[in-house]
Chains A and B, each alone.
Chain A
């Protein structure tokens, strides 16, 4: 158990809909990362938050947004969903600082858009 909790584990929704994925980081970790894993693209970095502030942005679509709350949990919002958004979405967290800090991953949320 990595200590990172993601809910829900599975999500099935229709095209055009909006969903919210939730992540609770390990106790004490200030950084939260979101990744998308698909068969064709592999693991793609979406966005990172550090102590409530956006720190880094990767290949995140404009239809997607995220935030990190004062209690450090994070939510990833996916809107106007398309079939191609079907993927496994991972959240990871890491400690405050230090170069090369290890990231701990949750079990992922499998999103299926039909």
Chain B
């Protein structure tokens, strides 16, 4: 079955420390990969996406993710987090064509001052 696994449900980290949020998906020939962020009491916002080309993609607020086909992973990283990064992060995959997004269960990132 098509699935997305986010290994950590909660990640506490101190401000200005680096963070990695892990995401693995079930293997498929072609996938499109997304990270969404949900701030408290808000909807989901697209953070970054991988469709094709360079395996390293970046967001405007300093996050990056790397598509690793051999490990079927799309981990999200940031070298130095801020309090404002506190949110829930969802990894999502489109497995083929115009099929709907399949989401992981989310990782709650808590940045501690």
Over the window 31-49 of chain B, the binary record of Cβ atoms lying under 8 Å from chain A Cβ atoms (1 yes, 0 no) is 0101010000011111001
- Distance to closest chain A CB from B53 (angstroms): 12
**Given A42-B106, A56-B99, A105:B44 Cβ within 8 A:** yes
Q: What residues on A are CB-neighbors of B101 within 8 Å?
A: 33, 45, 92, 103
Q: How many A-B residue pairs have CB under 8 A?
A: 55
Q: How far is the CA of A35 from the CA of B101 in the complex (A)?
A: 10
A77 at the interface (CB under 8 A from B): no
Are A2 and B34 within 8 A (Cβ)? Answer: no
Q: What residues on A are CB-neighbors of B106 within 8 Å?
A: 42-43
Q: What residues on B are CB-neighbors of A56 within 8 Å?
A: 99-100
B-contacting residues, A35-56, CB 8 Å: 35, 42-43, 45, 48, 50, 55-56
Please tell me the number of chain A residues within 8 Å of chain B, measured between CB atoms: 26
- Distance to closest chain B CB from A85 (angstroms): 19
Please tell me the number of chain B residues within 8 Å of chain A, measured between CB atoms: 23
Given contacts A2-B43, A105-B43, 11 further A-B contacts (CB under 8 A): A33-B100, A35-B103, A43-B90, A43-B105, A45-B103, A97-B98, A100-B49, A101-B98, A102-B34, A103-B100, A105-B36
Q: Give me the 10 closest cross-chain CB pairs, A-B, nearest first.
A: A100-B32, A42-B105, A43-B103, A105-B44, A107-B43, A105-B43, A100-B51, A45-B100, A48-B100, A108-B43
B→A interface (CB under 8 Å): 32, 34, 36, 42-46, 49, 51, 90, 94, 96-106
